[in-house]
Chain A
């Protein structure tokens, strides 16, 4: 920019013939080249334009302060996540040092004794088993309801039922736990007895006593995560482009074929994410399982008998009696739970971010 007026000034006076060849070929070179010079001269004299009239950014103005404030709030999130890990580790390590049994394999929880012995094995097993069983029950049903709400129900009914499902997702877990313990225990015990009588040859349907079993915990958990998975996957199904659905119908597809070829493939990442989020919720569920599981410390595949435990339920059940080491042991188990849910969540989020169609929050 800085060179241009210089060069055209020379052109007007006829200097620098070597570089000006192309300008001359255009004809009337002197006039054309001179015009910008006459326009530009007053600019150079007065120093106006080019943004010079705007106020300069102040070093410590309100803008900077506000920006810094929001940045600090953003950083707080990262700090909190880091702090959770740091403080849990800090409190867990002394208890783990005091543990005289193998933390990963020992089946029992006696951190308050003098040679403290406690192990996460049975708890982690129970956590995973109840969560996976719950998902196994809840996911097909939830997807069915979501498909019904999005593609079968009349629009008004679908919206109304979707609203009710959202409300059910907000019901506190302690209510489901109380229901499972006070009411649902009876039907499930009957079901357990029936299953054992007729399907007892399958090892997981073992002998009683029936009552607060893994089956009860998983069923209650399934009922709890059902509204969450339903509401998330319904959003996904509703986002299917109408053009895709209409194209399938126009090609002669039945309604199910339309769902299978247009809706389900389109929503697959969203479904996976919804299931993973449901898994995260099921893994971390505390009170419902604390009220419905039998609280034992053995790895057993018999899902009908009294027993079962999970990391979170164990924390709730054993916290009141815990001493210094006991608290540390519970915090150590919470750290394991934190790690498991973190892995599940990061995987789910990675899937969501890879396909941006699904942007509903997991509230």
Chain B
């Protein structure tokens, strides 16, 4: 770059080249990369150490070493460090994109095999190990019902809790609630499953069921709502805090009571953000397997009643099919996984787009 003759605007024409720091020419980095790869291929295949993956890994290491040496000699140590770290940060991106892209590719290529009407129209009832058909209709019904009930429980509870924290709560008690909501976000899903198992399935449900513990979709909904609650509270809380104080003060000045101000002024203003948080928590709950596995029972037949008898869910269906010995079950598992991911991603994307249109902004 220093050798170019056309002076740039930032550089006075009278400035001699000797005052500028010396820099590596622009072609140095790509040339070094090619050289490193060739050298690494030569060494790896020459000594027979491994395959193409090793060539790339070894090549990257050689490239970093070469880059440091070259930059150190021409530009100095600080610039050499800068170049190596920049290269490392870029390679981190590539390193992470590879497996994630592989997950997506495997999902799409294997998941489309059973993507037919039969899959969405039938259940696993009376499907043996030798049957190629069978579908996830019962699991889709289960997922929708469980997530629906969980949302119906969580949303009022979570929004009211957030209103308490933001509008009414003062002092240590409100701080404790806020703190434990945060702690609750980290409770593992399997623990919420065990909690509902211990509390609802083993202790409460025998009262309604002649003394026998009963697994049900409702129990799964309870576990999911414990999982959703902290997410809903936190996002609602953040949105309520973003509502400008003059809106509240204007309402107070007109003599509107506080509760009516909250319901008529504050909540509608924050609504898009709240809905975004709710949708994200629904997406997370729809993908949860562990709690459903513990408390819903997971039947093979269609069960429209979430309060009685076993129910399955899409995530649980994936897990169960993955564990089955039939040669047809992997295809079913992958198609169900694809369905689940599409469901979750549609919810997430919709939520994010809604958040982008939100006037309050994050």
- Chain A residues at the B interface, C-beta cutoff of 8 Å: 61-63, 65-67, 69-78, 80-81, 83-84, 87-88, 90-91, 140-145, 147-148, 152, 163, 166-168, 170-179, 181-184, 194, 198, 219, 223, 226-227, 230, 254-257, 259, 277, 280-281, 283-287, 290-291, 312, 315-316, 319, 327, 330-331, 334, 337-338, 341-342, 344-346, 348-349, 352-353, 359, 361-363
Contact, CB under 8 Å: B82 / A257: yes
Asked whether, in the complex, the Cβ of B194 is within 8 Å of the Cβ of A331, the reply is yes
In the complex, which of the residues A88, A178, A346 has the most CB atoms of chain B within 10 Å of its own CB atom? Answer: A178
Q: How far is B263's CA from A109's CA once the two chains are assembled, in angstroms?
A: 53
What total count of A-B pairs have CB within 8 Å? 283
Other-chain contact of A166, B179, B334, B341, B352 (Cβ < 8 Å): B352
Q: For residue B345, which residues in chain A have a CB less than 8 angstroms away from its CB?
A: 167, 170-171
- Are A179 and B107 in touch, CB under 8 angstroms? yes
Interface contact A62-B337, CB-CB below 8 Å: no
Q: Are B181 and A77 in contact, with the CB atoms below 8 A?
A: yes
Are B319 and A152 within 8 A (Cβ)? Answer: no
User: Is B341 touching A330 in the complex (CB atoms < 8 A)?
Assistant: no
B287 contacts A by Cβ under 8 Å: yes
- Give the chain B neighbours of A152 by CB distance below 8 A: 86, 89-90
Given A178-B318, A183-B102, A223-B100, the answer on whether A140 and B92 have CB atoms closer than 8 Å is yes
B78 touches A331 (CB 8 A): no
How many Å lie between the Cα of A140 and that of B185 in the bound state? 24
Contact A166 B186 (CB under 8 A): no
The residues of B that contact A281 with a CB separation of less than 8 Å are 186
Question: Which of B163, B174, B259, B337 interacts with A178 by CB under 8 Å?
Answer: B337
Q: Give the shortest distance, in Å, between A337 (CB) and chain B (any CB).
A: 6
List which B190-205 residues lie within 8 A (CB) of chain A: 190-192, 194-195, 197-199, 202-203
Give the residues in chain A near B284, CB-CB below 8 Å. 170, 363
Give the residue of B169, B176, B337 whose beta carbon is less than 8 angstroms from that of A78.
B176
Give the residue name and chain of the B residue nearest to A84 (CB): B195
> Of all chain A residues, which has the CB nearest B91?
A144
Contact B198 A90 (CB under 8 A): yes
Among residues of B, the one whose C-beta sits closest to the C-beta of A172 is: B287
Interface residue from B50, B185, B191 paired with A361 (Cβ < 8 Å): B185
Shortest CB–CB separation between residue B151 and chain A, in angstroms?
A: 15
Complex A-B: 9 CB contacts under 8 Å: A67-B168, A73-B158, A73-B163, A74-B161, A170-B283, A175-B337, A178-B337, A182-B110, A342-B187
What is the CA–CA distance of A39 and B94 in the complex, to the nearest angstrom?
81
* A341 contacts B187, C-beta separation under 8 Å: yes
Q: Please tell me if the beta carbons of B93 and A145 are within 8 angstroms of each other in the complex.
A: yes
Which residues of B (92-113) have their CB < 8 Å from a CB of A? 92-93, 95-96, 99-100, 102-103, 106-107, 110
Chain B residue contacts of A257, Cβ below 8 A? 78, 81-82
Say yes or no for B349: interface residue by CB 8 A criterion: yes
Contact assessment for B231 and A363 in the assembled complex, using a CB-CB cutoff below 8 Å: yes
Given A83-B199, A256-B81, answer yes or no on A78-B180 (Cβ-Cβ < 8 Å).
yes
**Are A331 and B322 within 8 A (Cβ)?**
no
Closest to A92 in B: B198
Check A84 against B89 for contact (C-beta < 8 Å): no
CB atoms of A226 and B294 under 8 A apart: no
Q: Which of A67, A91, A223 contacts B198 (CB 8 A)?
A: A91
Binary interface encoding of chain B residues 164-187 relative to chain A, with 1 for a CB under 8 A from any of its CBs, else 0: 110111000010110111111111
The answer to whether A80 touches B82, judged by C-beta atoms less than 8 angstroms apart, is: no
Cα-based distance from A184 to B185 in the complex (angstroms): 30
Q: Which residues of A contact B88 (CB under 8 A)?
A: 144
| Chain A residue contacts of B184, Cβ below 8 A | 77, 80-81
Contact status A331-B179, CB under 8 Å: no
Q: Which 6 A-B pairs have the closest CB atoms?
A: A284-B188, A144-B92, A172-B287, A345-B186, A73-B160, A70-B164
B192 CB to nearest A CB, Å: 7
A147 and B89 CA atoms in complex are apart in Å by 7
Chain A residues, CB < 8 A from B330: 182
Q: Please, which residues of chain A bring their CB within 8 A of the CB of B203?
A: 87
- Inter-chain CA distance A71–B173, complex, in Å, is 10
- Closest chain B CB from A29 CB (angstroms): 41
> How far does the Cβ of B274 sit from chain A's closest Cβ, in whole Å?
13
A226 and B96 within 8 A (CB): yes
Chain A residue contacts of B156, Cβ below 8 A: 73
Q: Closest CB-CB distance, B46 to chain A, in whole Å?
A: 15
**If A78-B180, A83-B195, A315-B194 touch, does A170 touch B280 (CB 8 Å cutoff)?**
yes
The answer to whether A69 touches B99, judged by C-beta atoms less than 8 angstroms apart, is: no
User: Are the C-beta atoms of B187 and A77 separated by less than 8 Å?
Assistant: no
A148 & B93 in contact (Cβ 8 Å cutoff): yes
Contacts of B167 in A (CB 8 A): 70
Distance in Å from the Cβ of A166 to the closest Cβ of chain B?
A: 7
Partner-contacting stretch, out of B3-11, B27-35, B233-241, B300-308? B233-241
* Contact (A177, B322) CB under 8 Å given A62-B259, A87-B203: yes
Residue ID in chain A nearest B231 by CB atoms: A363
Q: Within the assembled complex, what's the spacing in Å between the Cα atoms of A87 and B198? A: 6
Cβ of B64 within 8 Å of any chain A Cβ, yes or no, is no
Given A73-B164, A327-B202, answer yes or no on A338-B188 (Cβ-Cβ < 8 Å): yes
B325 lies within 8 A of chain A by Cβ:
no
Contacts of B311 in A (CB 8 A): none
In the bound complex, residues from chain A placing their C-beta under 8 Å from that of B164 are 70-71, 73-74
Are the C-beta atoms of B103 and A337 separated by less than 8 Å? no
Distance, CA A175 to CA B303, complexed state (A): 25
Please tell me if B270 contacts chain A, counting CB pairs below 8 Å: no
Closest Cβ of chain A to B66, distance in Å, is: 18
Which residues in chain B, 13-30, are within 8 Å of chain A measured between CB atoms?
Answer: none
**Chain A positions within 8 Å of B287 at CB level:** 170-175
Q: Beyond the given A84-B191, A182-B322, could you list 7 further A-B residue pairs with CB under 8 A, ordered by the A residue number?
A: A74-B174, A144-B89, A172-B286, A255-B82, A284-B189, A342-B183, A346-B183
**What is the CA–CA distance of A232 and B33 in the complex, to the nearest angstrom?**
32
A280 partner residues in chain B, CB cutoff 8 A: 186, 188
A184 contact set on B, CB distance < 8 A: 99, 102
Whether A345 contacts B183 by the Cβ 8 Å rule is yes
- Are B99 and A341 touching (Cβ within 8 A)? no
Residues of B within 8 A of A142 (CB): 96
* A166 vs B199: C-alpha distance when bound (angstroms): 34
Within 8 A of A (CB), among B236-283: 238, 257-260, 262-263, 277, 280-281, 283
Q: How far is the CA of A172 from the CA of B103 in the complex (A)?
A: 12
Closest chain A CB from B94 CB (angstroms) = 10
- Bound complex: CA A88 to CA B176 (Å): 22
